[in-house]
Amino acid sequence: MVLRKQTIHKLKSSGNMPKHIAIIMDGNGRWAKKRGLPRVAGHHEGVNSVRDIVEVCGELEIEVLTLYTFSTENWRRPKAEVSALMKLLIQTLQKEIDELVEKNVKLIVSGNLDRLPQDVGEGVREGIKRTEKNTGLILNMALNYGGREEIVHAVRQIADQVSQGKMDPQKIEQSTIENFLYTANLPDPDLLIRTSSEFRISNFLLWQLAYTEIVITDVLWPDFRRKELFKAIKAYQRRERRFGKVSDQLTVS
């Protein structure tokens, strides 16, 4: 406990903490396969990783944690697995919501909730409502989310505004598009973590990741706990974020 507090204090005192961390939680199936277990066992163990990472992000005073919970492509998985994932999602929400409220975590969702099973959609909306006044960590679940679909959704909304004469197409800027994304009120991720050694972003936050620092780890998601998060943050803190500038321009005179 003392060592954990020291590590958290050291990270925070560095002055270069990410405000928004996004994670592609990959490797549940491989974790289960290595142990001769059904894939759903990996998903269940992955929930424990979620719990630990949410807790430590709160302790680190991270502003936003976005978790790639279920993608639009995940519907292509076997029906039994999708059904198990939906059941696990609602069970986890029901079990954890009181603690989220207690720890001042605000739950939001990026994605299309309309396609979810009715009980899951209702459970998610209830969780959002119960935590809407919380002022601590924002836990953003990317649920039934796809980056390309998000952009298409934004473009359609903007086109509708233009067709109604409410928007001048010549005045559409980057900020205009950002205002119609699911993440409209959130800062772009500073740090993206992907587990299980996969080197791709898998249709995740395609617009928002333009200048995000990326850390890839070979750790499978069910084994990813705060120790691994600390390593990723330390890697982030060693990097120089130039946003198109050169190093000399970042030097404070």
**What span, in angstroms and rounded, lies between the C-alpha atoms of 110 and 208?**
12
Nearest CA to 185 out of 20, 18, 60 is that of 20
Q: 123 with 93: CB under 8 angstroms?
A: yes
* Catalytically active residues, by annotation: 26, 74
**CA-based nearest residue to 223, from 36, 32, 49, 43:** 49
Which of 144, 139, 147 has its CA nearest to residue 85?
Answer: 144
The token pair that represents 101 in the structure block: 């409220």
For residue 228, the one-letter residue type is E
